[in-house]
């Protein structure tokens, strides 16, 4: 009877206790890491916010054109707030990774290794997107201004097209960097780009061949003086 009681209750309890003896310290370590890390993340956020305010990061963000985009999300109160929360998020990520590695399990170790190999590519992709955004906006604006000053009717369409094209290129490069759908993406982009080029060539060369001829003749031959206004602006 006593043996049955031991086998049914005591031994499972001992086995559980043995397992808990192995698991609990690790769990306690994770909890301590998370709590301490959370506090650290909060301190970092405060510190980064103060630093960004001191260097007038808000003004820089307004000038760079990011401020409006950040405030439109209605999540962040200001560019400095955004920067502080990004820093806090980065600290949290490190804390979580640290906590995971503290468990010592082979699965988490493998996960960590793959994550750390992915991080540089992820950072590069984010930078490519940011740069692409800035460049596409600048080029689109330059195109818009040149087209408006040349009094082209489709100035906004042309500028929008430039922006979409440049941003698409940036997205393709970013996704290619993090190896998401590489082949499909590159092929789609190539088809799209080639399609645009062929369509433009057909439109200009075939449908608009008289216009194309006139434009080329104008470029190749010496220009005749304009017959209208000759008044000087200066």
Binding site for other proteins (CB under 8 A): 45-46, 49, 58-59, 62-63, 67, 77-78, 80-81, 84, 138, 141-142, 144-146, 148-149, 151, 155-156, 225-226, 228-234
Return the sign of the alpha-carbon dihedral for residues 230, 231, 233, 234: positive
**Could you tell me the smallest distance in angstroms from the CB atom of residue 160 to other proteins?**
11
CA distances in angstroms from 226 to 161, 214, 223, listed in the order given: 32, 16, 8
* Residue among 30 and 44 whose Cβ is closer to other proteins: 44
**Could you tell me the smallest distance in angstroms from the CB atom of residue 88 to other proteins?**
9
**Could you tell me the smallest distance in angstroms from the CB atom of residue 222 to other proteins?**
14
Rounded CA separation 64/138 (Å):
11
* Residue among 56 and 213 whose Cβ is closer to other proteins: 56
Cβ atoms 162, 140 nearer than 8 A: yes
* Residue among 73 and 231 whose Cβ is closer to other proteins: 231
* Residue among 60 and 202 whose Cβ is closer to other proteins: 60
* Residue among 46 and 188 whose Cβ is closer to other proteins: 46
**Could you tell me the smallest distance in angstroms from the CB atom of residue 161 to other proteins?**
14
What's the gap between Cα 94 and its chain centre? Answer: 20
**Could you tell me the smallest distance in angstroms from the CB atom of residue 167 to other proteins?**
16
Rounded CA separation 164/25 (Å):
54
Between CA 70 and CA 78, with CA 73 as vertex, the angle to 5 degrees is: 40
**Could you tell me the smallest distance in angstroms from the CB atom of residue 179 to other proteins?**
35
CA atoms within 13 A on the CB side of 101: 11
Which residue in this structure is represented by tokens 């008044």? 231
Rounded CA separation 128/180 (Å):
15
* Residue among 83 and 99 whose Cβ is closer to other proteins: 83
């Amino acid at each position: 009877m006593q043996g049955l009681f031991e086998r049914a209750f005591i031994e499972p309890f001992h086995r559980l206790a043995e397992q808990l003896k192995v698991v609990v310290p690790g769990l306690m370590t994770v909890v301590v890491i998370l709590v301490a890390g959370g506090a650290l993340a909060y301190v970092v956020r405060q510190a980064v916010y103060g630093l960004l305010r001191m260097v007038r990061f808000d003004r820089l963000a307004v000038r760079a054109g990011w401020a409006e985009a950040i405030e439109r999300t209605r999540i962040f109160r200001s560019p400095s707030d955004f920067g502080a929360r990004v820093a806090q998020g980065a600290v949290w990520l490190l804390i979580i990774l640290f906590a995971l590695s503290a468990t010592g399990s082979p699965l988490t170790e493998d996960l960590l290794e793959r994550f750390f190999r992915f991080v540089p590519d992820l950072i590069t992709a984010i930078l490519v997107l940011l740069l692409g955004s800035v460049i596409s906006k600048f080029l689109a604006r330059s195109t818009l201004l040149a087209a408006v000053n040349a009094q082209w009717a489709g100035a906004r369409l042309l500028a929008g097209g430039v922006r979409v094209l440049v941003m698409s290129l940036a997205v393709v490069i970013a996704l290619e960097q993090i190896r998401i759908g590489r082949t499909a993406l590159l092929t789609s982009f190539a088809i799209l780009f080639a399609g645009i080029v062929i369509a433009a060539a057909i439109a200009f060369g075939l449908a608009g061949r008289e216009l194309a001829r006139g434009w080329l003749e104008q470029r190749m031959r010496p220009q005749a003086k304009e017959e209208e206004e000759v008044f000087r602006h200066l």
